[in-house]
Structure 1
Amino acid sequence: MRGTRASQRLSRALASAISIALASLAFAPRSSAQDAPLQGFDAYVAEALKAWQVPGCAVAVVKDDRVVLAQGYGVRTAGKSDPVGPETLFAIASNSKAFTATAIAMLVAEGKLGWNDLVTERWPGFRMMDWEATRRMKVIDLLCHRSGLGTWAGDLMWFGSKLTRAEVVERIRYVPPAFDYGTGYGYSNLMFVVAGELIPRVDGRSWEQFLLERLFQPLGMTRTNTSVASLAGDPDVATPHTLVRGPLEQVPYLDVSNSGPAGAINSCAKDLASWLRFQLAEGRVDGQKLVPASAIEMLRIPQNLRVVSPFARSLNPSTHLAAYALGFEVADYQGRLKVEHTGGLNGMYSIVALIPEAELGVAVVTNLDEHDLTHALALHVIDAYLGVPAQDWSQRYLKAKRGQNAERAAAARRGVSKRVPNTRPSHEPKDYTGTFANQLYGEAVVAIEGDKMTLRLSQHANTGVLSHWHYDVFLATWDDVVWHESAVRFETDIEGRIGALSLKIRPEWIDPLEYRFERN
């Protein structure tokens, strides 16, 4: 949204809640939840893991600059006994965004960048489809989701694809906008990739090297890394799991190096405790100032107002206002500022939450995707330390999740009921085969292999088996568990040939755009 008096008042009100007092420095993680507010927490987590079918998780809690908990629960891999520990690595996905935003804040503090610098001044080759967005895009816009792109738009380009980071950024110019630049909210991973790629252009170091030298090493985050390749040979790594097809099953780690600044970091409870301390101490660690407090404060100032959905308000009536800041979301909670972010990738989900006024931070990482246990555990800890009446957040979120699942199942049944029976394709199977092209993505190849018709997309290794649905619509069942299924609609051109196909890939998880491929 554009600036209004209401949003300016919100910015001042939330920003004024950020200042905290530095407490005595101590790092003393417990082997179990022993602090008085956390009595019974271990048992609560164990019960919640079972209820949510989450194999394992790790939790870090920081209070008054002291690590009161850095512990693992459950197992690294379902069906095995290897326990999750404080150094077990998990993908933290979009919780990487706060690291990228902090890196940019450090460069701004050093005068190498300005928040209001035009992106094209620092990167003349940067292009969006919307020329106004290209011309007016500022550094700060990249980090608060007001680029004009829709939520997750274009993410299929990088989501486990063969494209390099440079190729992903180059193709952003082909992603259609959802609204005018600066006028709405669209959660854009692509803009964080651009932000990360500004770092070498002004500092000389890659995003990966900058984070290693300026954040990971000074904070003692010795286990944290920025790629799936770094996990090879490490014996203490959690296995990703999903329930997308019903039963719990393992999935491979998703290599997202090509979108690293948006979500490629892997970390553990021990290291995330250090990250919480750093954020709560406003840029200091063990007395050393890594970045001015004003830079950390900037990350918490609301930039893009968000609607508190009826679903969110029903779960948490104490939240009235919410916004995206820079790499973090901010909202009021129990009369205090809550700074948080979530992160999800195939088989993994996480949350980082801060209550700066209370000098309280919590991080939860899990080895299952698409669930709300992370929120439940974070709120359980926050409520315990704030002294507000206890709620069974796990059961509240679980009830809501079951309701959502029921709605999705009903929607799926409605979709099946709309299938028109006793129809035939308009052409013979061989007429659907061939190579089709899309400017943003690349190519789609339809082939007949034995008695099956298959679909392959050029930038991914996945194969979909096509089965007739009705008329010229086919259902692609992918060999990638997370991709699951896609409706593929074929079109007849003016000459009567199959001239194009259109499809979406898991719009509720991967990319909402419909990709139209035209025959070469």
Structure 2
Amino acid sequence: MQKGPQRFGAAVLMASLAVPTNVLGQQTGGYGPETEARIDSVFESMDSTHTPGCALGVMEGGSPAYLKGYGMANLEYDIPINPSSVFHVASVSKQFTTFAVSLLVAEGKVSWEDDIREYIPEVPDFGETITLRHLANHTSGIRDQWSLLSMAGWRFEADVITQDDVLEITSRQTALNFPVADQYLYSNTGFTLLAVVVERISGQTLKEFTQERMFGPLGMTGTHFHDNHNTIVPNRAYAYAPVGGDEGYRISIPDFDVVGATSLHTTVEDMAKWDRNFYTAEVGGPEVLEGMHERGILNSGDTINYALGLSHGRYRGLPTVGHGGADAGYRSDFLRFPEQDVSVAVLCNFPSSGPGGLGRQVANIVLEDVFPEPLPDPDAEEEEGEAEPDAVPLSEAELEELAGYYAADFNDRPLVLREREGHLFMDGQLRLFHEGDWVFRPDGEDERAQIVRTPEGSVSVTTPDGITFVRQAAVDRDSVDLEPYVGRYWSEELGVEYEARLEEGRMFFMNRKIGRRNINPVFHDGFGAGGNWVRFFRDSAGEITGFTQSSGRVWKVRFRKLE
């Protein structure tokens, strides 16, 4: 007998009550039970009703093969994560921004080789042409927005940051980190500027443009660029951070209204649809998809791994293309194996989730018969590490000469060489084996470090990644005179004032919003400042007149001493 509507609905309801809530909406069946159980074991530690977790999407041949959620999307209301849960995916957003620009390029409305100042004259004239491609390849030299805002006193998860705030602080900059296309250095600012280009050329917000031209046609109904932090998001997975001890978690979600570099909200279901477009090119066409994978080229002629919001790499001998992301408590990773037509998306809502590692563990399972390289054997690595290679010994005087603090000229980044039990160690942990002629091999690496000593007494170290660090004059932290550094300092590039204070022999920067930030002397006129690096400079009379502050993605922002 055919069931009527009411009886059919009741049957579905009764069936759903018999299924654990954390498996509702899951899509399985792409693999056998044994393989699926192995995949589930990767997420075993978070498959709980008491912790945040992750959503997983495994795609093969452009179709979803295994979609599942682990852990909770909302701890307050006991809502589990499922494939429809919406996550903020942070920097995974970048490929969507470059795709939007690529659509405009395909229509002849803009070119990747155009000067950014044609569209955003607020960007200062640094004396060099910065193209849209430079921005998308992270080779522009423009300082990173988040680091600049942090130095200026903005408090993430407390202050609302807008697109205009990023434009304003970018317009204040008087220098680049490095000459355009000389280096690769990750900068979120470039992708915020690309979002502004889309808005000014199309007359639509990035949210509107991508909805009309990308997400709508692809059926990505759970995806949008989140340009208003107050917007209600159905099915949102809230992000959390541990409080410490036994107090559980606190909510940790971004409260900025900045798009382009970040702020895409999506699901693993929709990431499967996005993945399919890399193979079908139903939106954009083959030329756009091919262009998205074109790697950047430096002035030296070297090709970098980063393309247009996508990073090329290799894992266990197979080519990969992907990107990760991290904002507040959200973590994400989208990794494609293009030659195998296999992709893995992992979207998580707590900081220590490690989605990149989780995704690769899943790939180890679904591609285990394909990888040309075996999984690393930790025991074998340990045994190899115990075998000490031949090394040319250094005298006690030579070790003493080399040990000390070094700094990179371009951003004052510190490096420390220490002598321990007759050996030289870099940054306290990495042992250096002397092969002769002042060439050193860091333990476990194939590349070499070169130390150069001059007759004048200067010493420099060029590390395996090509960065040169120069030996700095040592200071006795307990006896250095800190009084000359005390005073008020102003940065025009940040629009902020710091006050350097001295209390009970300790020096610190003080600012109304930053609060107290300790700074500690590490070499003459050089200080560590909570992960940043500060170098004071003097006039011809030896008086302190200002300092520069650097971080990993912002180099040498100037502060001048106020009278």
Taking structure 2 as the reference length, what is the TM-score of the superposition? Answer: 0.63
The match for 2:495 among 434, 439, 442 is 442
1:346 aligned to 308, 320, 328, which one?
328
Distance 2:121 2:535 in 1: 39
Counterpart AA for 1:421? D
Distance 2:165 2:40 in 1: 48
Residue 148 of structure 2 corresponds to residue 156 of structure 1: yes
Match of 2:334, as an amino acid?
Answer: V
| Partner residue in 1 for 2:311 | 329
Query: What is the CA–CA distance in structure 1 between the aligned matches of 2:274 and 2:477, rounded to whole Å?
Result: 55
- The counterpart of 2:31, out of the listed 22, 32, 35, is 35
| CA distance, structure 1, for counterparts of residue 224 and residue 376 of structure 2 | 31
Q: Which residue of 2 aligns with 1:176?
A: 175
C-alpha displacement of 1:124: 4.7
> What's the offset of the Cα at 1:263?
1.3
Shift of 1:96: 0.7
Please give the alpha-carbon distance, in whole angstroms, between the structure 1 residues aligned to 2:288 and 2:223: 23
Distance 1:377 1:164, change over 3 A: closer
Change in CA separation of 1:41 and 1:453 when aligned onto 2, cut-off 3 Å: same
| Alpha-carbon distance in structure 1 between the residues aligned to 2:90 and 2:476 | 37
Quick check: 1:33–1:40 contact (8 Å CA) kept in 2? no
Distance change in 2, residues 1:125/1:184 (3 Å): same
Higher RCO (Cα < 8 Å, 6 or more apart): 1
Cα distance in 1 between the residues matched to 2:70 and 2:62 = 23
Give the corresponding residue for 1:426: 483
| Aligned equivalent of 2:290, options 252, 272, 297 | 297
Alpha-carbon shift at residue 198 of structure 1 (Å): 0.9
Contact 1:328 1:340 in 2 (8 A): yes
Partner of 2:9: none
* Equivalent position of 2:237 in the other structure: 237
Shift of 1:407: 9.1
Mapping of 1:25-104 within 5 angstroms? Answer: 30-32=26-28, 35-36=31-32, 38-47=35-44, 49=46, 55-76=52-73, 82-104=79-101
Task: Name the amino acid aligned to 1:298.
Answer: G
Structure 2 equivalent of residue 316 of structure 1: none
In structure 1, C-alpha distance between the alignment counterparts of 2:536 and 2:114, rounded to whole Å? 45
Contact 2:507 2:520 in 1 (8 A): no
Gaps of 5+ in 2: 1-24, 383-424, 431-473
Contact 1:304 1:324 survives alignment (8 Å) = no
Which position in structure 2 is the counterpart of 1:138? 131
TM-aligned CA deviation for residue 351 of structure 1:
1.1
Tell me the alpha carbon deviations over residues 167-203 of structure 1, each in whole angstroms, 9 at most, x when there is no partner: 4235435163343323332222111122111112221
TM-score (norm 1): 0.68
Tell me if 1:362 matches 2:344: yes
Q: Is 1:517–2:515 an aligned residue pair?
A: no
Partner of 1:111: 108
Q: Distance in 2 between matches of 1:324 and 1:172?
A: 23
Distance across 2 between alignment mates of 1:365 and 1:278:
19
Give the counterpart of 1:464 among 499, 516, 524.
516
Q: For 1:394 and 1:56, locate their aligned partners in 2 and report how far apart those are by CA, in whole Å.
A: 28
Tell me by how many angstroms 1:298 deviates.
1.1
Secondary structure of the structure 2 residue equivalent to 1:61: strand
- Shift in Å at residue 296 of structure 1? 1.1
* Structure whose residues are more often helix by fraction: 1
Flag the 1:113–1:167 CA change in 2: closer, same or farther, 3 A.
same
Verify the 8 A CA contact 2:105 2:112 in the aligned structure 1.
Answer: yes
| Contact 2:84/2:235, CA 8 A, preserved across alignment | no
Call closer, same or farther: CA 1:162–1:34 in 2, change over 3 Å: closer
Q: In percent, how many aligned pairs have the same letter?
A: 23
Counterpart in the other structure of 1:166: 164
Distance of 2:165 and 2:214 partners within structure 1: 27
Would the aligned equivalents of 2:90 and 2:327 in 1 still touch at CA under 8 Å? yes
Alpha-carbon distance in structure 2 between the residues aligned to 1:178 and 1:195: 19
Taking structure 1 as reference, are residues 176 and 421 closer, same or farther at Cα in structure 2, changes over 3 Å only?
same
Give the AA of the match of 1:168: V
CA distance in 1, matches of 2:242, 2:304: 29
Higher deviation after alignment, 104-113 or 232-241:
232-241
Contact 2:57 2:68 in 1 (8 A): yes
CA spacing shift, 1:97–1:426, aligned 2, 3 Å: same
Report the Cα distance in structure 2 between the residues aligned to 1:420 and 1:370, rounded to whole angstroms.
Answer: 35
Q: How has the CA–CA distance of structure 1 residues 184 and 455 changed in structure 2, closer, same or farther, with 3 Å as cutoff?
A: closer
Residues of 2 paired with 1:409 and 1:80: CA distance? Answer: 46
Q: Compared with structure 1, are the counterparts of its residues 186 and 465 closer, same or farther at alpha carbon in structure 2 (3 Å cutoff)?
A: closer
SS of the residue corresponding to residue 312 of structure 2 reads strand
Q: Take 1:244 and 1:410, find their aligned partners in 2: how far apart are those partners?
A: 28
Equivalent residue letter for 2:497: A
**What letter is aligned with 1:377?**
G
Change (3 A) 1:395 1:193: farther
Mapping 1:220-259, distance limit 5 Å: 220-227=219-226, 229-230=229-230, 232=232, 236-241=236-241, 250=250, 252-258=252-258
Whether the aligned pair in 2 keeps the contact of 1:241 and 1:348 (CA below 8 Å) is no
Correspondence for 2:362 among 380, 387, 400? 380
The alpha-carbon deviation at position 352 of structure 1 amounts to 0.9
Distance in 2, Cα, partners of 1:418 & 1:76: 51
Is the partner of 2:261 in helix, strand or coil? helix
How far off is 1:306 after superposition?
13
Question: How far, CA to CA, are the matches of 1:293 and 1:62 in structure 2?
Answer: 20
Alpha-carbon deviations, 1:353-400, whole Å to 9, x = none?
12233332221112233774423423532662463369668989xx9x
- Please give the residue correspondences for 1:213-224 in structure 2 after superposition, counting only pairs within 5 Å: 213-224=212-223
How far apart, in 2, do the equivalents of 1:419 and 1:372 lie? 40
